[in-house]
């Protein structure tokens, strides 16, 4: 594919047979780049305290109806060291923007996982300081997930996205310059958002120093200013996923759990058909999971059984290699002179 491939607005609105052809192209490109295997990670949601006030998120600081929690470090350590599902090769540690949880839960958890497991470690903790990024990196985390959400700075401010869009983009560059593998992402189908705005999201993502990117359908969150808005049309989201795969064949693109909320029963598998190559099992302890409310309390939890069933139904299989291991292998391969390289089999 051309390095500056970008779809048209018409492509983002495709449906029916034309959409199927386009998604097949994305899935074929995924298989050429990564084989028929997909990465399987777990997520643990360690805190729903958040200092931000995003209009699209149920954990926004103005939501006074939410019981706030920070997970117990010891319980997470036991879960991930001794009781994690066999298919999991990576873990994503996720929280609202909560510096206390970073210090008291995340940093010691990362150190434990690095010392006692082979897991690749991703974190999604929002905008932090460079010194804290360094501490997390030194502790053993390798991938930082920081979403820019939308490319329109004015609309970003209206929705009270974290900080400012400029600040968010600056931190993406900062993290990449520090040696992190950075993944970002955006929301598709926000109120008053159409193909033009989504093209701007894709164009921005293409310019950023990313190793992966996600797109999530807008789901109106409970106790948010957008609670009465309509759920996004899933086709917009899936078409953006296909566009990302065609735009950047080398990116790791997750099938997000919100795909099921946008189209129960079929949305998640359709994400795999559109070129996704990362799936996530939710391991957040059940006693706190219902209060991690990005959207609604009535969550659809992606268990190992559901994940493995979905990827098998699409003719895919779990990767035995961790995502972090894949990135390290890729970097090692780049440093070897071309004449000395021995090509490894496709994944």
Q: In the chain, where are the structural domains located?
A: 9-332
Query: pLDDT band for position 226 (50/70/90)?
Result: very high
Other CB atoms within 10 A of residue 64 CB: 6
Residue 22 pLDDT greater than 90, yes or no: yes
Q: Cα-Cα-Cα-Cα dihedral of 8, 9, 10, 13, to 10°?
A: 130
C-beta of residue 214 within 8 angstroms of C-beta of residue 254:
yes
CB 214 within 8 A of CB 285: no
Interatomic CA distance for residues 79 and 73, integer angstroms: 10
Average pLDDT of span 331-336 = 68
What's the pLDDT tens digit per position in 89-99?
999 999 999 99
- What's the CA gap between 261 and 241, in Å, rounded? 16
Helix then strand then coil, % of the chain, to nearest 5: 45, 15, 45
Question: Residue 339 has what pLDDT?
Answer: 39
The residue assigned the tokens 């139904």 is: 313
pLDDT in tens, 135-182: 999 999 999 999 999 999 999 999 999 999 999 999 999 999 999 999
Specify the pLDDT at position 335: 55
Task: Please report which confidence band the pLDDT of residue 240 belongs to, taking 50, 70 and 90 as the band edges.
Answer: very high
Sorting pLDDT into bands at 50, 70 and 90, what band is 344? very low
CATH class belonging to 9-332:
alpha beta
- Distance between CA atoms of residues 287 and 171, nearest Å: 33
Q: What does the block give as tokens for 35?
A: 């084989």
What is the distance of C-alpha 342 from the center of its chain? 32
CB 262 within 8 A of CB 217: yes
| Whole-number Å distance between alpha carbons of 126 and 108 | 18
Contacts of 28 (CB under 8 A, 6+ apart): none
Strand 317-318, strand 143-145: pairing: unpaired
- Work out the percent of the chain whose per-residue pLDDT is above 70: 95
**pLDDT tens readout for residues 256-305:** 999 999 999 899 999 999 999 999 999 999 999 989 988 877 778 899 99
pLDDT at 342: 30
Confidence (pLDDT) at 2:
43
**pLDDT by residue (tens digit) across 176-219?**
999 999 999 999 999 999 999 999 999 999 999 999 999 999 99
pLDDT bucket at 345, cuts 50 / 70 / 90: very low
Total Cβ atoms within 10 A of residue 219: 20
Q: pLDDT per residue over 29-76, tens digit each?
A: 999 999 999 999 999 999 999 999 999 999 999 999 999 999 999 999
**End-to-end alpha-carbon separation of the chain, Å?**
20
Whether residue 336 is predicted with pLDDT greater than 50 in this model: the reply is: no
Of 6-10, 31-35, 175-179, 311-315, the range with the lowest mean pLDDT is 6-10
Instruction: Tell me if residue 215 falls in helix, strand or coil.
Output: strand
């Amino acid at each position: 594919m051309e390095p500056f491939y970008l779809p048209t607005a018409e492509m983002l609105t495709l449906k029916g047979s034309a959409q199927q052809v386009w998604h097949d192209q994305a899935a074929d490109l995924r298989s050429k780049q990564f084989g028929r295997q997909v990465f399987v990670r777990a997520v643990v949601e360690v805190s729903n305290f958040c200092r931000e006030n995003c209009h699209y998120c149920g954990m926004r600081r103005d939501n006074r109806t939410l019981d706030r929690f920070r997970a117990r470090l010891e319980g997470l350590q036991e879960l991930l060291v001794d009781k994690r599902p066999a298919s999991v090769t990576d873990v994503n540690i996720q929280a609202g923007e909560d510096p206390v949880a970073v210090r008291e839960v995340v940093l010691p958890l990362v150190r434990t996982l690095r010392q006692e497991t082979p897991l690749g470690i991703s974190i999604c903790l929002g905008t932090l300081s460079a010194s804290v990024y360094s501490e997390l990196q030194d502790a053993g985390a390798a991938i930082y997930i920081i979403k820019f959400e939308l490319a329109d700075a004015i609309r970003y401010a209206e929705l009270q996205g974290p900080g400012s869009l400029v600040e968010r983009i600056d931190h993406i560059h900062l993290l990449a310059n520090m040696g992190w593998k950075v993944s970002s992402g955006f929301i598709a189908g926000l109120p008053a958002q159409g193909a033009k705005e989504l093209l701007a999201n894709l164009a921005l993502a293409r310019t950023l120093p990313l190793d992966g990117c996600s797109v999530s359908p807008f789901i109106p969150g409970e106790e948010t200013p957008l609670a009465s808005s309509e759920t996004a049309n899933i086709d917009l989201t899936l078409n953006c996923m296909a566009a990302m795969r065609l735009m950047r064949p080398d990116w790791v693109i997750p099938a997000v759990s919100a795909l099921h909320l946008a189209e129960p029963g079929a949305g998640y598998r359709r994400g795999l058909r559109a070129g996704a190559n990362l799936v996530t099992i939710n391991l957040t302890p059940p006693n706190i999971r219902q209060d991690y409310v990005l959207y609604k309390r009535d969550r659809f939890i992606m268990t190992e059984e559901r994940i493995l069933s979905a990827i098998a139904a699409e003719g895919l299989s779990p990767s035995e290699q961790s995502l972090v291991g894949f990135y390290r292998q890729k970097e090692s391969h780049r440093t070897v002179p071309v004449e000395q390289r021995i090509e490894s089999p496709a994944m």
